[in-house]
């Protein structure tokens, strides 16, 4: 029972961390993007995409393609994991 509680706490913490990362990246995407902002967003997207694909090279390529989206589309992709998965 103690193991299940600890596992649930770890999962909950991981989810909170992931939401915080996504929120930070999404907040940057709502502004007009300069190079520093785009790099921060790209790093955040890369982390998320790299969890979805098996190859680092593929994650880089997908991240680059996603960064070509308009700011509005980028915001929508960051807002929903399902939307991101559809784009990947």
Q: What per-residue confidence (pLDDT) applies to 30?
A: 57
pTM score: 0.57
Q: What per-residue confidence (pLDDT) applies to 33?
A: 63
Is there a contact between 75 and 29 (Cβ–Cβ < 8 Å)? yes
Q: Is 33 left (phi over 0), alpha (psi -120 to 50) or beta?
A: beta
Is there a contact between 48 and 84 (Cβ–Cβ < 8 Å)? yes
CB contact set of 42 (below 8 Å; sequence gap of 6+):
63, 64, 67
pLDDT in tens, 32-80: 567 777 788 888 888 888 888 888 899 999 888 888 887 777 777 777 7
Give CA–CA dist 53/82, Å, rounded: 15
Query: Per mean pLDDT, which of 27-31, 34-38, 47-51, 84-88 is the most reliable?
Result: 47-51
């Amino acid at each position: 029972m103690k193991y299940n509680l600890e596992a649930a706490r770890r999962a909950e913490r991981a989810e909170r961390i992931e939401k915080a990362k996504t929120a930070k990246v999404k907040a940057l995407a709502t502004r007009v993007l300069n190079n520093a902002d785009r790099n921060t967003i790209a790093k955040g997207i890369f982390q998320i995409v790299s969890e979805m694909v098996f190859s680092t090279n593929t994650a880089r390529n997908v991240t680059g393609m996603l960064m070509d989206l308009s700011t509005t589309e980028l915001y929508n992709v960051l807002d929903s994991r399902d939307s991101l998965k559809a784009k990947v």
